[in-house]
Amino acid sequence: AKFVYDFTEGNKDLKDLLGGKGANLAEMTNLGLPVPPGFTITTEACKVYLDSGTEPAALRAEVSEHLDALEQKMGKKLGQADDPLLVSVRSGAKFSMPGMMDTVLNIGLSDASVSGLAAQAGDERFAWDSYRRLIQMFGKTVLGVDGELFEEALEEAKQAKGVRVDVDLDAEDLKSLVAHFKDVVAKETGRDFPQDPREQMDLAVRAVFDSWNTDRAKLYRRQERIPGDLGTAVNVCSMVFGNLGPDSGTGVAFTRDPASGHQGVYGDYLQNAQGEDVVAGIRNTVPLADLEQIDKTSYDQLMQIMETLETHYKDLCDIEFTIERGKLWMLQTRVGKRTAGAAFRIATQLVDQGLIDEAEALQRVNGAQLAQLMFPRFDLGAKSETIGRGIAASPGAAVGKAVFDSYTAVKWSRSGEKVILIRRETNPDDLNGMIAAEGILTSRGGKTSHAAVVARGMGKTCVCGAEELEVDTKARRMTTQDGTVIEEGDVVSIDGSTGKVYSGEVPVVPSPVVEYFEGRMHAGAEDADELVKAVHRIMAYADRVRRLRVRANADNAEDAARARRFGAQGIGLCRTEHMFLGERREMVERLILADTDADKEAALEELLPLQKADFIELFESMDGLPVTVRLLDPPLHEFLPDITELSVRVALAEARKDANENDLRLLQAVHKLHESNPMLGLRGVRLGLVIPGLFAMQVRAIAEAAAERKNAKGDPRAEIMIPLVGTVQELEIVREEAEQVIAEVEKTHGVELKLTLGTMIELPRAALTAGQIAESADFFSFGTNDLTQTVWGFSRDDVEASFFTAYLEKGIFGVSPFETIDKDGVGSLVRNAAAAGRATRPDLKLGVCGEHGGDPESVHFFHEVGLDYVSCSPFRIPVARLEAGRAAA
């Protein structure tokens, strides 16, 4: 194998082999852009090193060969005493990763060559500045010396001289600083700073290889699901110097604004500086536009290059460049990160510029970005005081009074207060408080901390790991870095999309994108928001190409109407149990308590007209579109009083000797229905089979509602869905009964209803016997919530708060299987069941109605396995439409 590629040999498509940085340096070189010459050591070399513990045998010779060629080209040798060639050694994996080694600049400098560099440049100070930087970077990243020790020494030198910034240190100061740095290295590592230039280079290369396996890099890979065996490439690049005086400098730039997407001049420039100085904030940078005044030639050339890059990459690029005595050098480019709003705007702008087509535009945005744009946000025009910043763990804008414990959160929210729960970190005991709060703020923990995971699961705003905020839960207060104290009851605002924390109430404005979906803002309007126009166009592209239809999970006419505005093509899941809440709960209670058939029938009689009225409304709001109604699913005890509360009430009453007859019967029933594992107990189709008349009543309500809508010239399209079926026999019995009821209703109303009857596939056995079940089903709807619970043996209500944080931290999965479908396990059952069902009945309609129906990655999976539709909550519908389009484009 070939382990080393000259920059002239690679290209941008070789990211696997050359890493992102190396591939793009090669691409720029081949575009004829001014890139300092150099070469890339491949990820393959790294893999051999990681597997065997030593560099591949051929590597040394290959590196020598490429170094020779580089020295030829530059007319000087690495570290040559009178005129040294210097290089940078830069890590560059396929994906950039925290925890990977930092770049080391100025490799090749030594006691011998530092004066040669000074003489060549005619600048003593520059040479010693470069040398001290080398020892500092090398000492820290290659030799593992604590970086603080160098920082302290630098700080001392500045203080001794009475200056504030490093450019005010002169050659003599820097010379003694180098001596000091060398002492630090000798003391900390037990050996002298290496003087041999090739040894410096080889050690730096090995350090980059080793950095692949730092704990931080490993953890990051596991969480982001980046394979652990990719390895990193290493770039060796000849140095150019931005620290050669005022006609030199270094900068970063974007080809367009990563926040708005607008074309223009965006970036920062710093004169007389090297490397990271520009982003490190040690001196004040100037806006890129000022470069035009400072060095017009370089500025014009840079603008030209930026245009070349945009046209070539057909996307926003970010850039690192350096100017050495009036000559511009390109040091890095890549397709740049951008905000969610900019992603949509840039995608449509590029279509308008003719650079990409609509299908490509769809790949430039994603559902997570769209979801982000749909959250209400803080009005940033309003006056606000930022008091800290943490990790944006779960998006949204939340305002409330600060509370520091779960108990207070619950108490205050019960009395109608909005609260923000502030903790150092959360644990399962905080769950009630988290539910009660508008948002959650923690000072510890990352994206997989308990607070973050649970908040995301609940769709609740969360900022975590705001480390500069000191949370004192005992004293019920939080102190900001500048000493401001937030006491319990003070209002704070947290932004889960940016991680910012504000004191006081920041006004919240609705998202313009939601206003648009709601029909309150029109994309065609003259003054329409630019973002709304872009979203409108992208949604149109997605709708044009997608094959999956998108339905809503909705139980009432109001949700159905919103879902329709958001583009729903029907209802995929109407949960009838939601129709039995409130005062109707007592009717269900009566049904459960009924001793005689007559009582039972009476209870059902009472429920029938109410159910029917609900369905009429629902069919009306979804006229012409399918509405899947699921028959009663949850365990009956959910309709009965809590067993403990009731027991106490009865016991107290008995003590007072005035126990009430009804309570006693109720308690008996509660005891009888009590189950240790209710989710695996008497629920779903099992209820229909053991409580005579229950499903028949529901089917009658559906059929009569449909008949009435028909007679009113409506177009109802009801689909009856049986939950929790495990075997075809269950379905056959329910179907027979249902068909009888439907025929009766058709006859009395004189209409043909064309109701279909299908089942949920949410138990492993149902999935495994899908071929048989399809004999009796017109459609399948995969209930992937329950299927995930039963396939993994996870109790959804418990595991997310108890051990999922640990699982995520250990990298067992990168995301909860309740959030994104587990393709290998649950997904493979879905795939096989879909195929088996269709084998029995080719026209079998297939859908999914779990939370996964609105999850971007899962939508792609459902597209791929050939489902007909996904169903999700109304707010996720645009996301599902977009992702279905992206999957098909």
Question: Of 276 and 620, which has the nearer Cβ to ligand ADP?
Answer: 276
Three-state secondary-structure class, residue 445: coil
Interaction between residue 103 and ligand ADP (CB under 6 A):
yes
Interaction between residue 90 and ligand ADP (CB under 6 A):
yes
Which among ligand ADP, Mg ion, none contacts residue 783 (Cβ within 5 to 8 A by kind)?
Mg ion
849 has catalytic annotation: yes
456 annotated as ligand-binding? no
Question: Of 247 and 601, which has the nearer Cβ to ligand ADP?
Answer: 247
40 annotated as ligand-binding? no
Smallest gap, in angstroms, from Cβ of residue 274 to Mg ion? Answer: 13
Question: Of 239 and 571, which has the nearer Cβ to ligand ADP?
Answer: 239
Q: How far apart are CA 335 and CA 23, in angstroms?
A: 12
389 annotated as ligand-binding? no
Q: How far apart are CA 391 and CA 464, in angstroms?
A: 5
Interaction between residue 430 and ligand ADP (CB under 6 A):
no
Interaction between residue 331 and ligand ADP (CB under 6 A):
yes
Question: Of 205 and 640, which has the nearer Cβ to ligand ADP?
Answer: 205
The answer to whether 235 and 92 are in contact (CB under 8 A) is yes
Smallest gap, in angstroms, from Cβ of residue 263 to ligand ADP? Answer: 24
The residue range among 357-365, 610-618, 696-704, 775-783 that interacts with Mg ion, by the rule CB under 5 A, is 775-783
Q: How far apart are CA 666 and CA 230, in angstroms?
A: 63
Catalytic annotation, pick one of 46, 317, 849, 872: 849
Question: Which run of H or E residues covers position 472?
Answer: strand 470-472
Smallest gap, in angstroms, from Cβ of residue 150 to ligand ADP? Answer: 17
Pick the closest to residue 182 from 192, 170, 196 (CA basis).
192
658 annotated as ligand-binding? no
Number of Cβ atoms within 10 Å of the Cβ of 284: 8
630 annotated as ligand-binding? yes
Rounded to the nearest 5 degrees, what angle is found at the Cα of 816, between the Cα atoms of 779 and 543? 50
Return the exposure string of 691-704: e unless at least 16 CB atoms fall within 10 Å of the residue's CB, then b: bebbbbbbbbbbbb
SS (H, E, C) 128-143: HHHHHHHHHHHHHHHC
Q: Residue 271: which region, alpha, beta or left (left: phi > 0; alpha: psi -120 to 50)?
A: beta
Interaction between residue 36 and Mg ion (CB under 5 A):
no
Residues from 288 through 347 that contact Mg ion (CB under 5 A)? 320, 332
Interaction between residue 104 and ligand ADP (CB under 6 A):
no
786 annotated as ligand-binding? yes
Which among ligand ADP, Mg ion, none contacts residue 276 (Cβ within 5 to 8 A by kind)?
ligand ADP
Interaction between residue 276 and ligand ADP (CB under 6 A):
yes
For ligand ADP, the binding residue among 19, 20, 36, 850 (CB under 6 A) is 36
Q: How far apart are CA 762 and CA 735, in angstroms?
A: 18
Q: Strands 500-503 and 385-389: what pairing?
A: antiparallel
For ligand ADP, the binding residue among 275, 570, 634, 758 (CB under 6 A) is 275
Which among ligand ADP, Mg ion, none contacts residue 239 (Cβ within 5 to 8 A by kind)?
ligand ADP
The answer to whether 107 and 206 are in contact (CB under 8 A) is no
Interaction between residue 77 and ligand ADP (CB under 6 A):
no
Within 13 Å of residue 247, how many CA atoms lie on the same side as its CB?
6
The CA distances from residue 387 to 460, 494, 508, in Å, are 21, 10, 18
Catalytic annotation, pick one of 66, 450, 852, 860: 450
674 has catalytic annotation: no
Residues from 513 through 552 that contact ligand ADP (CB under 6 A)? none
Within 13 Å of residue 340, how many CA atoms lie on the same side as its CB?
17
Which among ligand ADP, Mg ion, none contacts residue 786 (Cβ within 5 to 8 A by kind)?
Mg ion
Q: How far apart are CA 9 and CA 31, in angstroms?
A: 12
Question: Of 38 and 433, which has the nearer Cβ to ligand ADP?
Answer: 38
SS (H, E, C) 305-373: HHHHHHHHHCCCEEEEEEEECCEEEEEEEEECCCCHHHHHHHHHHHHHCCCCCHHHHHHCCCHHHHHHH
For ligand ADP, the binding residue among 240, 309, 391, 587 (CB under 6 A) is 240
Question: Of 233 and 685, which has the nearer Cβ to ligand ADP?
Answer: 233
Smallest gap, in angstroms, from Cβ of residue 482 to Mg ion? Answer: 32
Question: Of 105 and 650, which has the nearer Cβ to ligand ADP?
Answer: 105
Which residues, listed in sequence order, are joined to residue 385 by a DSSP beta bridge?
A: 503
Within 598-755, strands assigned E span 626-630, 717-722
| Residues placed in the known binding site for substrate | 575, 630, 762, 783-786
Residues that are catalytic: 450, 849
Residues near ligand ADP (CB under 6 A): 36, 88, 90, 103, 105, 237-240, 275-276, 320, 322, 331-332
Residues near Mg ion (CB under 5 A): 320, 332, 762, 783, 786
| Residues placed in the known binding site | 575, 630, 762, 783-786
